[in-house]
Structure 1
């Protein structure tokens, strides 16, 4: 998820009032894929913080329908490569725990790059990669923050990064992962246009050649998918919608979800690029307060069934 370190730290604190959905039992195996599903969070994210789930209600619903789901945790703020290495180690553990040869990686926002990194380094461990609202060609919000930082000078940048790193460390402690290092400048450098382009040169699998096209649907035997929403304001009760309305101004009228441009989210086979959801709604946040007509939980369930029907 491209998450702007500056714009997202305050709304993130609002998550502390949420409660997760209850666990449920398997109702027939609609989402029972051959390989485990691994969820990789975005920038400023976490797996679970007390009762708060990053993927609000999504893992529970997938499990209810038969999926083996594993929610991972990497640095809230760090480079794509560092976060990718952290995810790689967890995938290794999940394979050892389950006995599965491969996994399905689903990454939200910056979790898209983490997932792509794992697939590039160990393609034999990955059956599919799905980018949800992924800034695969960078984010205009990250570009704006980078420009502001460059203009303001190193002193401003040092203070800002220290504050954001502090938020990341607090998140890591509260989510039970105090060992995770935080590097907000590394994260920003990964998600601006230049950093994303450099990452794509080194890890080009399934990246569209054109500005708004589709990438190769299968690379080295790995299936690649993506989806995203557009629009920023759908629910007046959701504080994130107000934040996305503000950050969406950075795109100067181009279709976006508040943090990622519509075309930047394309990777591999584009399942849909215009869901009525902003960047947070695609992970059912805040507390399921999404707009009318949006069904983020069902979207993941349907995708799991898609993979199941492929024998994956």
Structure 2
């Protein structure tokens, strides 16, 4: 009886083990199958939006209680790397134009010294060359042992979406003006003919601009904000570790021993803001966005995906149907709740009819927004553009925009600040990109 009991117990253990394995093996097999279904192993590069910061900067923690731009207090770069998706996080000029940011992004990926272009730099009165970077992927654009070009997937949030679009256009078509001015000394970025980008994904990006940036005097407001940041950081050792404004090309860095008055005066009168279009405020406005749309085209050998966000609802006491912040979606901003509510209400009621503008009519179709960007602007470039934008049907189409749909979250939620589903969303996105054919 004792032996029979032992065998009975052993049988029970075997049965339990078998049942356990039957539960776990299918999921393990599914995971292995999913990894085998990858068609490419191109790295992902994340590009932040206006006012963004790098992974090693402390600004996010101080201002938003969010250490990482991508993920809040969860590092999306490492999370994706842990799951086999090689990922890098760029840190470009938080207040710079899309042109300058694209030049910096190129250098950060490829390595080398930032070249803003001779013609561009002369036009806007700043230095041609910037910082030097080691490069995430020095072999970017080269052929591997099988003869395939080593490409990347670019993901941009907010202004970062405009920036990665511009980079893809420069690589593909180059700049005739820069080639004419620089001749043999032109940067490879402006030479054109480079099919180095597998996909571009934009999240809550103002492809047609945001009416929030159309407020008169936005440039000056940005200049004052920059001066305030610069003056505060100017007294802190290693200030770039707190927040690096990356405007070396304009000389906008508080000098040792420089008084606050002199620094403020220098910033406010900088060519970056004085009758200049080489800054984030211009590019984010509806006029500047359309100017970019006229020449930044979807490249035929690149996949384009776009996501839109919506965090407002109709104002119940508005006869016109104005939009206001949905407290369930935007009421988690703590000290910034009033700011977000004001921004959402402004965009949710702003309208104009001015046929001298790049976008002549702003009407109720522009009122739904995510607190920073009008939702209608986020699906892709419409005004000034010939790009094709179609709703995603499950099969990615190359050379045009695949609009993935609207998420009912706000502008920050999609990058993981206050949305629990953000990490899963990024993993799903990375998985989809890995399944694109080489």
User: What is the TM-score with the length of structure 2 in the denominator?
Assistant: 0.53
Cα offset, 1:110, TM superposition: 0.7
Whose RCO is larger (CA < 8 A, sep 6+)? 1
Give 2:422's match in structure 1, choosing from 296, 305, 312: 296
Shift in Å, 1:121: 1.4
Aligned pair partner of 2:368 in 248, 255, 280: 255
Q: Does 2:245 match 1:245?
A: no
For residues 305 and 239 of structure 2, the distance between their equivalents in structure 1, rounded to whole angstroms, comes to 29
Match of 1:204 among 297, 311, 319: 297
Structure 1 counterpart of 2:437: 311
- Is residue 258 of structure 2 the alignment partner of residue 163 of structure 1? no
Unaligned runs of 5+ in 2: 1-30, 62-66, 111-134, 143-148, 173-194, 253-269, 274-278, 312-324, 350-366, 381-400
2:281 match: secondary structure: helix
Instruction: Give secondary structure in 2 for the equivalent of 1:55.
Output: coil
- Report what 1:8 is aligned to: none
Q: Rg bigger for which structure? A: 2
The Cα offsets for residues 25-75 of structure 1, whole Å up to 9 and x where unpaired, read as: xx8675975200000000000122247211013223222221000000001
1:121 is paired with a residue whose SS is helix
Q: How many residues align?
A: 260
Q: Measure the CA separation in 1 of the matches of 2:408 and 2:229.
A: 30
CA deviation after TM superposition for structure 1 residue 149, in Å = 4.9
1:75 and 1:168 in contact (8 A); partners too: no
State the match for 2:306 in structure 1. 226
SS of the aligned residue for 1:104 comes to strand
What's the secondary structure of 1:53's corresponding residue?
coil
Q: Please give the alpha-carbon distance, in whole angstroms, between the structure 1 residues aligned to 2:422 and 2:222.
A: 36
Aligned to 2:240: 173
Q: Deviations over 1:170-205 (max 9, x none)?
A: 997125857544687411011111111111112132
State the shift of 1:97 in Å. 5.9
How large is the Cα RMSD of the aligned pairs? Answer: 3.1
Q: Please list, as runs of the form range in 1=range in 2, the aligned pairs for 1:110-121 lying within 5 A after superposition.
A: 110-121=159-170
**Distance of 1:163 and 1:187 partners within structure 2:** 17
Note the C-alpha offset of 1:238: 3.1
Partners in 2 of 1:172 and 1:74 — Cα distance? 16
> 1:281 aligned to 402, 408, 413, which one?
413
Q: Give CA deviations for 1:210-263 in whole Å, capped at 9, x if unaligned.
A: xxxxxxxxx320000010210144264433554322211222351110111111
Superposition map of 1:132-143 within 5 A: 132-143=203-214
Give the Cα separation in 2 of the matches to 1:66 and 1:90. Answer: 22
Q: Residue 35 and residue 80 in structure 1: after superposition, are their counterparts in 2 closer, same or farther (change >3 A)?
A: same
Within 1, Cα distance between the matches of 2:408 and 2:416?
12
2:129 counterpart of 1:129? no
Secondary structure of the corresponding residue to residue 45 of structure 2: strand
Moved more, 106-115 or 225-234: 225-234
Counterpart contact for 1:172–1:180, Cα < 8 Å: no
Q: Is the 8 A contact 1:88 1:118 kept in 2?
A: yes
For residue 46 of structure 1, the aligned residue among 44, 53, 78 is: 53
Between stretches 196-205 and 102-111, larger displacement belongs to 196-205
Pick aligned residue for 2:104 from 78, 83, 86: 86
